[in-house]
């Protein structure tokens, strides 16, 4: 537990805010030269919502960098964990002329540092897209360019994998 100093009242009540850091080490895998997956969970404890977001934004990058340095990790983007992310997402196909096409509404399924998985009713007409997400804490929209790297048709629609930025990969 990483505790903060907290206010006098919080210390008096014994509820000093902090961050609970949990590190889970999985079993080594032969395919990864004996390396095992590492999951780090950082949760705010006894913070109000605004202070929790601020504390996480300040501490998490330092905690992860410290762990990476200490453990001398060797992972690729594909090894990164995905997180459940259930939110409506707006997606615009980008045409050859770089103009945005018709708005498509998707449902996000998960997100990672590298990209995300979306569910759409139909296959988008282009591989290059612009994705717009709603940032819940500020109610502001955030747009990001992305590239579709995989499409799979299913009974509920088309599940697409996108890579943020100018990601490379073949659409399949």
Q: pLDDT tens across 32-47, in order?
A: 556 667 778 888 888 7
Token pair belonging to 169: 């990969």
The position carrying tokens 């770089």 is 98
90 is in which domain, residue-wise?
Answer: 83-164
Per-residue burial over 70-93, b = 16 or more CB atoms within 10 Å of its CB, e = otherwise: eeeeeeeeeeeeeeebeeebebbb
Pick the more confident residue, 70 or 170.
70
Residue 80 has pLDDT above 70, yes or no: no
* pLDDT at residue 70, rounded to an integer: 80
Residues 98 and 132 reside in one and the same domain: yes
Q: Check residues 89 and 62 and name the one with the higher pLDDT.
A: 89
Number of domains in the chain: 2
CATH code for position 138: 2.40.10.220
């Amino acid at each position: 537990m990483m505790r903060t100093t907290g206010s006098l009242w919080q210390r008096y009540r014994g509820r000093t805010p902090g961050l609970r850091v949990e590190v889970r080490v999985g079993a080594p895998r032969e395919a990864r030269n004996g390396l095992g997956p590492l999951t780090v969970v950082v949760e705010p404890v006894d913070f109000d919502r605004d202070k929790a977001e601020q504390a996480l934004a300040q501490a998490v990058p330092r905690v992860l960098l410290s762990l990476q340095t200490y453990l001398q990790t060797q992972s690729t983007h594909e090894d990164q964990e995905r997180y459940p992310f259930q939110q409506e997402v707006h997606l615009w196909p980008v045409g050859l002329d770089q103009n945005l096409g018709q708005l498509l509404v998707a449902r996000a399924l998960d997100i990672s540092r590298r990209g995300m998985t979306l569910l759409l009713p139909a296959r988008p007409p282009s591989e290059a897209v612009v994705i717009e997400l709603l940032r819940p804490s500020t109610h502001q929209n955030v747009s990001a360019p992305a590239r579709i790297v995989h499409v799979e048709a299913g009974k509920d629609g088309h599940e697409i994998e996108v890579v943020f930025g100018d990601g490379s990969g073949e659409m399949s």
